[in-house]
Chains A and B, each alone.
Chain A
């Protein structure tokens, strides 16, 4: 269905689907930590930004055009950056974990903002069009590239990383993460190395967020400090809750509905932030299991009748 979108929809909507792919990938990782391990991070925009700046630096400063290399290097850079953050953060849970990750996110934001010579300050760094499997599609203009080859490339990446994540959450590793979420003390006495598992889950989530960030940056054509700002971390949480964090597909649903909801609201009213807030409140109060949970309830109700 998503593969048919470029042929059916207007280019404007197709450019919206791309960020939805990007956030879909990022949230798959984010939810491994949140929904599966029970750790709510308020700083994961940090890793999205690392992915975006990675794509920017590699493409416009180091001349790396291969998108495969960009994704891999940006992802690994995020993993390396995540090591100290995770080492410190996974010692804590709940609000303390949230605040620590928030602090690291803000630290990186001010680094991007202040170190003008390296990061371009508030204007950021331009991101150049990458090549896909060595093909740079010179014959296509920017829009044609985005809604053509790049679109399918990102869709394939989403499917691939989705399958990998599906395997991870259904593996022994994933089962241990669930045990840690449900009762970390009991998990310890069953021989589960709680901190090590949290640490690894954190690194995986950072990788996914960076891959999402790289796609996002290419879509925008620019990496700027707003990507690392705490409200962006908040949006990651918003999307996950909107879709439903208890379900594997919740974050994907959340990413797509958030992007389209935001775009429709922005087109309809200048008070779109207010309406987004109201939506979040309604979701949390009325449908704590998110849109997926709502759909499941409606489905089971329809079947009973």
Chain B
């Protein structure tokens, strides 16, 4: 019972069917404060559906999904942000013609109740500007505040996308493959930046959807493996990897692709150094 009470996100018997096709079946789990939970599984395992359900984008056909004790089934992205959960997608979403500062400002403003001010000034809002600088600094973008987003390097666009989600000051953040399209050497520095940012921004839990099993094993506090719409395993990384490695071929192969990272960043360097040659 104690665990349930401290749960930030809780699903009870979640099911989702599209006509005859069952995408999720009886998924029950809870995510508590201080956790970094990775959702893994092969294509078609139900990861996307599950993630869409726990972010209120999809209404489950069975079961309950709660965030901080409130039902959030199908509440949609705007309410989700208001309740304190942010989400960043695998494909980079930016505002091409807007500057880095403006992009972050949109997220900050949308949560302040100032967004409908027709005659306020964005430029002279000191509190807003310092908050924007603060968020940008966490992601190493403080030198690019006035740069147009479309002119950033690919890795910087990715960081900006995630930074704008952090700018919502969420309690929970869901990151869909935050390191996709980034060279394997830089994946670790991005992960470190994210975890560091989470701590500095007061994020209580991070949910990660990730294919790179080295990253998952190294940074998660818990791994949830889905297959065929069901929870196959749900445990801390060291215990699960041996079991999963032996039973799932995709685990071994995706794990192998992430190997050979001799040029890893030293653990002390938390600043991101995104490769400009990285393509998505």
Contacts and interface: CB of A to CB of B under 8 A. Distances in A.
B81 A175 contact: no
B122 interface: yes
A187 B106 CA distance: 8
A172 B95 contact: no
A188 B105 CA distance: 14
B256 to A, nearest CB: 33
Contact of B105 (A168, A170, A173, A175): A175
Contacts of A175: 102, 105-106, 109, 122
Interface in A26-43: none
A187 B109 CA distance: 12
A62 interface: no
B103 to A, nearest CB: 8
Contact of B118 (A173, A178, A185): A173
B123 interface: yes
A191 interface: yes
A191 B78 contact: yes
A142 interface: no
Interface in B106-154: 106-107, 109-111, 114-123, 125
A183 interface: yes
Given A170-B123, A176-B110, A182-B96, A190 B81 contact: yes
B159 interface: no
A171 B86 CA distance: 24
- Chain A interface, >50% SS class: helix
B122 A192 contact: no
B77 interface: yes
Contact of A189 (B77, B118, B120, B121): B77
Nearest to A167: B119
A193 B122 contact: no
B93 A172 contact: no
B97 interface: yes
Interface string B155-168: 00000010011011
B120 A172 contact: yes
Nearest to A246: B97
B122 A182 contact: no
5 contacts: A172-B120, A173-B115, A179-B102, A189-B88, A191-B168
Top 4 nearest A-B pairs (CB, nearest first) are: A191-B81, A182-B95, A191-B110, A186-B93
